[in-house]
Amino acid sequence: MLEEYDLEAQAKEVLQDGSGSTVGNKGWGRPEERRSSVRKVYVTRVLVLLPDGKLFEGKTFDVSEQGLSLLAPFNLPANIKCKMRFELITAQSKQLCEVDAVVNYSVCQSQGFKVGMQFTLVSSPNQTAIRQFLNSKQR
């Protein structure tokens, strides 16, 4: 049985690496930065459905048009495909997004695994919601 985690607190802790940086992409054991679009720090619950039918809950670190990073309670292999569901909240709206994604990397952290996900299939309404969220002033 999986150990329970306070994922929100852990996501916030992992975001702060001591330098004030939230990217941390050049240090040992950290993945190279691959995103070419703007990301926005955003901590929220995300449900992830794996190909074998297992469902788990994680917490996001940040979101971009191309993908998101999340804190997972266990390691996910690179290139595994999954489905994700998360909510984007702005001052004007609340949008439940469902997207297909693939794991780019999974890095062990003290509180779990930081997983980089790249979106592979996003509906037009969800793409619009993500863009609006990224352009909003809130969170």
Tell me, yes or no, whether 21 lies in a domain: no
Confidence (pLDDT) at 5: 45
Tell me, yes or no, whether 85 lies in a domain: yes
HSE-CB for 126 with a 13 A CA cutoff: 19
**To the nearest whole number, what is the mean pLDDT of the chain?**
82
State the residue range of the domain holding 57: 7-16+36-135
Domain count of the chain? 1
What is the biggest distance separating any 2 CA atoms in the chain, rounded to whole angstroms?
A: 40
Tell me, yes or no, whether 63 lies in a domain: yes
Tell me, yes or no, whether 123 lies in a domain: yes
pLDDT digits (tens, 9 = 90+) for 97-109: 999 999 999 999 9
Instruction: Give the dihedral of Cα atoms 23, 27, 32, 37; nearest 10 deg.
Output: 20
pTM, full prediction: 0.73
pLDDT digits (tens, 9 = 90+) for 65-86: 999 999 999 999 999 999 999 9
* Calpha distance 40→122 (Å, rounded): 18
**Higher-confidence residue: 46 or 2?**
46
Q: Where residue 78 sits, what CATH number does that domain have?
A: 2.40.10.220
Tell me, yes or no, whether 45 lies in a domain: yes
- Taking the alpha carbons at both ends of the chain, their separation in whole angstroms is 34
Tell me, yes or no, whether 2 lies in a domain: no
Which residues, at least 6 apart from 129, have a Cβ–Cβ distance to it below 8 Å?
Answer: 88, 93, 95, 97
Tell me, yes or no, whether 25 lies in a domain: no
Tell me, yes or no, whether 107 lies in a domain: yes
